[in-house]
Amino acid sequence: MPDPTPPPATAVAFAEGARRLGDLCRRRGLVVPGFRSPPADPAARRTIRHRPDGGVIVAVRVRGRPLADVLVDLVEGVVAANGLSGEEAARLRRELLAGLGEVEESPPAWAA
């Protein structure tokens, strides 16, 4: 019987998800936060930091977590960075997660 546990996310998949999410945000005219990993707080799964210059940094733990969970945390960071709540936030979550589709492990373009 196959193992039902999804494989853990990787740095490459995190970077691809963050890039695609940034593109989706720009098309919608949303604030695009900077994405990084891991959060400075070793106990945190995700953090958000508002910089004095108006920028926002979303940090997400990747190591040992399924990619789907990492992508959800990235999307939650976008929702928070844009100050959305209620139905507007729920709609954006659905749209962004659908727009991300399947983020797959792929070699960097320079490796092809």
Backbone angles phi, psi at 25, to 5 degrees: -65, -45
Mean pLDDT taken over the chain: 88
User: Would residue 112 count as lying in a domain?
Assistant: no
User: Would residue 38 count as lying in a domain?
Assistant: yes
Give me the percent of the chain exceeding a pLDDT of 90: 78
Burial grade of 77 (CB within 10 A; 0-12, 13-18, 19 or more): buried
Distance CA 58, CA 81 (A): 8
pLDDT, tens only, 69-111: 999 999 999 999 999 999 999 999 999 999 988 665 544 444 4
pLDDT score at 112:
43
Give the residue numbers spanning the domain of 26: 11-101
User: Would residue 42 count as lying in a domain?
Assistant: yes
Length of the chain counted residue by residue: 112
User: Would residue 78 count as lying in a domain?
Assistant: yes
